[in-house]
């Protein structure tokens, strides 16, 4: 049985924040478009740069608990 977009949305917004993030990634990764590989490569480089900066103490970090407690849920 198929569910409507509205039902799907309702189900999705009731997921945990991490599961919603995973769902968003799944949906976004289903799009194929020109330049996708370049964008993915750029994001990969950015993530690696941020990890390096964090490990070298060049970046301030915030605990996940502080992030979630600041969200209106």
pLDDT in tens, 31-48: 888 888 898 899 999 999
The C-alpha atoms of residue 25 and residue 19 are separated, in whole angstroms, by: 10
Q: Which helix (H) or strand (E) holds 34?
A: none
pTM for this prediction:
0.50
* pLDDT band with cut points at 50, 70 and 90 for residue 10: very high
């Amino acid at each position: 049985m198929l569910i409507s977009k509205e039902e799907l949305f309702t189900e999705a917004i009731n997921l945990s924040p991490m599961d919603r993030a995973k769902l968003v990634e799944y949906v976004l990764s289903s799009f194929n478009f020109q330049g996708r590989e370049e964008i993915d490569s750029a994001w990969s480089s950015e993530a690696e740069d941020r990890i390096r900066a964090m490990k070298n103490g060049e970046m301030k970090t915030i605990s996940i608990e502080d992030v979630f407690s600041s969200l209106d849920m």
